[in-house]
C-alpha cells in the first residue's frame, strides 16, 4: 500500500506535502522518468522552474499519471517559478501562461519568484538571461504575481532566495501574502534564524539542496559521510541521507531532494516512521558552518542581492 507524506497547512489554507521531488538539473527523459517514479512511490509534490528548462517533461509525467488513473490533478501539488527575465510586471502573466502551457496544466498550486534580482528580457528563448541585471523592484513583480491568483492561474504565490528584510518589505506592502520562501537549507547551512523569522510570519521554508549536492568521491559533505553521521543513522536504522532529511523536517522545513534514481527517490521519501531526539538534533546542528553552496555571487553587486545580510 502506498504511503503519502503528511501535509503542512499554508497560511491561505492550501495543504502542501511535507516532502517534494526537486528537479533542478533533471533534464529531458531523466526528468520525466523521475517524476513518474516519484508519483508511483507516493510523492504528491513536484518542484520545477522556468529556468530548469524541464517544465515540458515534468508536465508530461504528471499528465501521464493522471491519464493512467494513478492520480487526479488535485492530488498533486505543483510548484514552478518565475524566471529572472520575466520580472517586469507586464511580462509576469505571459511567463505564468507559458509555464502552464509547458506543464499542460490549468493552474499552478504554488508560483514562486525565483530570485529578488531580475534580468533584462531579450526574448523567452534566452532562458538564463545574461548577467545584464534589471533594476525592476521585486515589489512591482510581486503585485503582478498577485494578479495571477485573481485570474485563477495559480492558487498561491511565494518567494525564493529572499532574505528576512526583503520578505518583511513584501509583507508590509502586499495584498496577498507569500506562503513559502524556498531557500538553500541543509545541516551545513541550516537557516535556523530565517526559519524562526518565517514561522513568526506564517511563511513555510522549502529547503533546496537539502543533501548539499553530495560528492561521494570526496566523502563530502561530512553530515553524509563522517563517522558521527554514520553512527547516528545506524542508531535509527536509517541512511545518513534519511537522517539529514528528517532533521530538516523537524526544523519545520519542507525538503525537496533531487534525484533521478528510483531507489534514491524511494529512500528520500522514507523519513516519516522515526523521529530524532532533541540531543541528536543538536548533534546534527553541529554541522552548521554558515557556508552557502549556491552563492549567486555574479549578482552580488546588485541592490536587491539577498545574501549580504545575516539571514
Domain annotation covers residue 278: no
Residue 99 domain boundaries = 7-215+252-260
Q: Flag whether pLDDT at 305 surpasses 90.
A: yes
Cite the active site residues.
52
- Tens digit of pLDDT for each residue in 129-187? 667 899 999 999 999 999 999 999 999 999 999 999 999 999 999 999 999 999 999 99
Domain annotation covers residue 57: yes
| Degrees to nearest 5, angle at CA 212 with 206 and 218 | 175
Q: State how many domains the chain has.
A: 1
Q: Contact 110/79 with Cβ under 8 angstroms?
A: yes
Answer yes or no: pTM beyond 0.75.
yes
pLDDT of residue 26: 79
CATH number at residue 135: 3.20.20.100
- Average of pLDDT values for 270-284? 97
What does pLDDT average to over the chain?
A: 96
Q: Which of 117-131, 134-148, 180-194, 247-261 has the lowest mean pLDDT?
A: 117-131
Domain annotation covers residue 282: no
DSSP string, 78-121: EEEEE-GGG-SHHHHHHHHHHHHHHHT-S-EEEEEE--SS-B--
- Average of pLDDT values for 7-23? 98
Q: Flag whether pLDDT at 270 surpasses 70.
A: yes
Cross-strand partners of 35: none
pLDDT of residue 28: 72
Domain annotation covers residue 53: yes
Q: Which of 7-16, 67-76, 116-125 has the lowest mean pLDDT?
A: 116-125
pLDDT of residue 108: 98
Domain annotation covers residue 118: yes
Confidence band, pLDDT 50/70/90 cuts, at residue 126: confident
- Tens digit of pLDDT for each residue in 75-100? 999 999 999 999 999 999 999 999 99
Amino acid at each position: 500500500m502506498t504511503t503519502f507524506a503528511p501535509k503542512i497547512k499554508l497560511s491561505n489554507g492550501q495543504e502542501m506535502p511535507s516532502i517534494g521531488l526537486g528537479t533542478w538539473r533533471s533534464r529531458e527523459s531523466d526528468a520525466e522518468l523521475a517524476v513518474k517514479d516519484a508519483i508511483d512511490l507516493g510523492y504528491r509534490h513536484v518542484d520545477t522552474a522556468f529556468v530548469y528548462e524541464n517544465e515540458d517533461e515534468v508536465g508530461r509525467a504528471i499528465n501521464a499519471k493522471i491519464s493512467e488513473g494513478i492520480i487526479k490533478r488535485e492530488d498533486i501539488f505543483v510548484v514552478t517559478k518565475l524566471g529572472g527575465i520575466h520580472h517586469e510586471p507586464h511580462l509576469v502573466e505571459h511567463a505564468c501562461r507559458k509555464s502552464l502551457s509547458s506543464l499542460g496544466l490549468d493552474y499552478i498550486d504554488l508560483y514562486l519568484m525565483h530570485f529578488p534580482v531580475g534580468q533584462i528580457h531579450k526574448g523567452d528563448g534566452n532562458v538564463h538571461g545574461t548577467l545584464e541585471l534589471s533594476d525592476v523592484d521585486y515589489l512591482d513583480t510581486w503585485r503582478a504575481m498577485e494578479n495571477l491568483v485573481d485570474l485563477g492561474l495559480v492558487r498561491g504565490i511565494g518567494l525564493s532566495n529572499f532574505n528576512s528584510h526583503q520578505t518583511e518589505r513584501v509583507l508590509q506592502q502586499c495584498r496577498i501574502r507569500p506562503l513559502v520562501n524556498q531557500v538553500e537549507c541543509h545541516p551545513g547551512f541550516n537557516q535556523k534564524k530565517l526559519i524562526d523569522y518565517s514561522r513568526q510570519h506564517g511563511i513555510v521554508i522549502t529547503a533546496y539542496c537539502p543533501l548539499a549536492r553530495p560528492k561521494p568521491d570526496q566523502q563530502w559533505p561530512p553530515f553524509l559521510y563522517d563517522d558521527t553521521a554514520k553512527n547516528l543513522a545506524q542508531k535509527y536504522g536509517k541512511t545518513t541521507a534519511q537522517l539529514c532529511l528528517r532533521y530538516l523536517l523537524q526544523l519545520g522545513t519542507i525538503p525537496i531532494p533531487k534525484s533521478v534514481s528510483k531507489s534514491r527517490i524511494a529512500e528520500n521519501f522514507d523519513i516519516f516512521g522515526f523521529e530524532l531526539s532533541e540531543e541528536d538534533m543538536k548533534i546534527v546542528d553541529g554541522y552548521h558552518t554558515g557556508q552557502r553552496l549556491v552563492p549567486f555571487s555574479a549578482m552580488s553587486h546588485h541592490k536587491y542581492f539577498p545574501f549580504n545580510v545575516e539571514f
